[in-house]
Amino acid sequence: MNQAATIEKPTKLEAFRMEVLPPERARDLYTSLPVHVRPEVFERNLVNALMANPELMDLDPRLVFREVSKAAALGLYLDPQLGEAYLIAGWNGKARRKEPQLRIGYRGLVKLGRQSGEIKMIYAHEVYDGDRFRCVLGDHKALEHEPDIFGQRGSIVGYYAVVKYTDGETDFEPMTVVQVHGIRDRSDGWKAFQAGKIKSTPWGTDEVEMAKKTVIRRLCKRVPQSPELAEAIRIEDAAEHSELRAIATAPTGRLSPPSPPSPPSPPPVDAKQQDPAPTGEAAGQAAEPEDEAPPPSAPATSESSAADQPDAGDREPVNPDQFYEDVEAQYLAQTDRDGVNEVWACTVEPAIESGEIYFPADKDRLNKQYKNHLQRVE
């Protein structure tokens, strides 16, 4: 009796996972993982994230891989139960469509903060109307919170974040509910949710955790930042509020290099021959502020022409090694500081800002390359 050979068809979940992480991509991705993150656990967490949010499987797997790569570089797990990082279907205001978006959880920021080596403890907490809360500022700052755990605590009136350094010094940041909601209301995700463009938002399902993360982010402006923490804050700022991106390049951050001086303005060209201006972070982000200057390599464009330009989310992530070699060749062709600055401003910086280069190690390598060539021509 002949038995027909049967080949099991992969489930939708398994097929999509293979599109996101085919063997060659998975191999490269797992080599970037920190030593404390096991590849098999990270992959299992990715499956859990897709199961928790099936809507992600209707999106472009290339864009999902881009967001997964960011979590891998930070060493954060995507399991929703752990609360370190999440994958959501966010609203891209530029492309006017849903796209996958990595969001860093409150616990993820705490984890990365402690990895700096200078922070002994960092946490955030909510304050209820019935709690005893005392905040003293000035040259002798103090914060006291006595929650009435077994009493009628009332409603939440505020939040605070506290950091204790290894040398014993402490710092804190309080925020009222009104202040937190002010941040929420400027969030691109909240605006899209209010407009009915997306079905849910973390602000709607986990407001307390989002509020804690908000006050932690504000406190992190003043704490020593590891490259991973600075990158996590940059990701969150790009997803929530483009006007807060300066946090990632604060003096305590060591991730992004200072922007080089602008090269001489290029000669005017015909408008039909102009290249489109590089776009900003694609995932879950609305249009950039109108007063933000375009990169030195591109002349300013009107709002109507900007709307027709390609979005960063449609770009394939580049091969980091090949990109580095191509940039090296461009640098070697330059003989003065202005030429080196122009390569940075016209080639490297747009790739970083658009998300084509997303591993922190690659950004550090490009930063060193830029500085080396500045020294060469001086």
- Structural domain boundaries in the chain: 12-82, 109-249, 287-377
Q: Residue 285 in contact with residue 93, Cβ under 8 Å?
A: yes
Tell which residue, 125, 128, 81, has the closest CA to residue 105.
81
Q: 């390359």: which residue's tokens?
A: 369
From CA 75, how far away is CA 63, in angstroms rounded? 19
The residues, any chain, with a CB within 8 Å of residue 19's CB and separated by 6 or more, are 61
Tell which residue, 279, 365, 285, has the closest CA to residue 325.
365
Angle at 343 between CA 339 and CA 348, to 5 degrees: 160
Please tell me the predicted confidence (pLDDT) of residue 126: 94
Number of C-alpha atoms within 13 angstroms, CB side, residue 253? 23
From CA 167, how far away is CA 161, in angstroms rounded? 18
Please tell me the predicted confidence (pLDDT) of residue 3: 53
From CA 326, how far away is CA 366, in angstroms rounded? 11
From CA 80, how far away is CA 308, in angstroms rounded? 36
Please tell me the predicted confidence (pLDDT) of residue 6: 58
Q: pTM for this structure? A: 0.55
Please tell me the predicted confidence (pLDDT) of residue 316: 53
Please tell me the predicted confidence (pLDDT) of residue 155: 94
Q: Could you count the other beta carbons within 10 Å of the beta carbon of residue 191?
A: 17
pLDDT by residue for the chain (378 residues), tens only, comes to 455 555 677 788 888 888 888 888 888 888 878 888 888 888 888 888 888 888 889 888 888 888 888 888 888 988 878 888 988 887 776 777 788 889 888 888 888 888 877 888 899 999 999 999 999 988 888 999 999 888 888 999 999 999 999 888 899 999 999 999 998 888 877 887 888 877 778 888 889 988 998 999 889 888 887 788 888 888 887 776 433 333 233 333 333 333 333 343 444 444 444 444 444 443 343 333 333 333 443 333 333 333 333 444 444 556 777 788 788 888 888 888 877 887 887 788 777 766 666 666 677 788 888 888 888 887
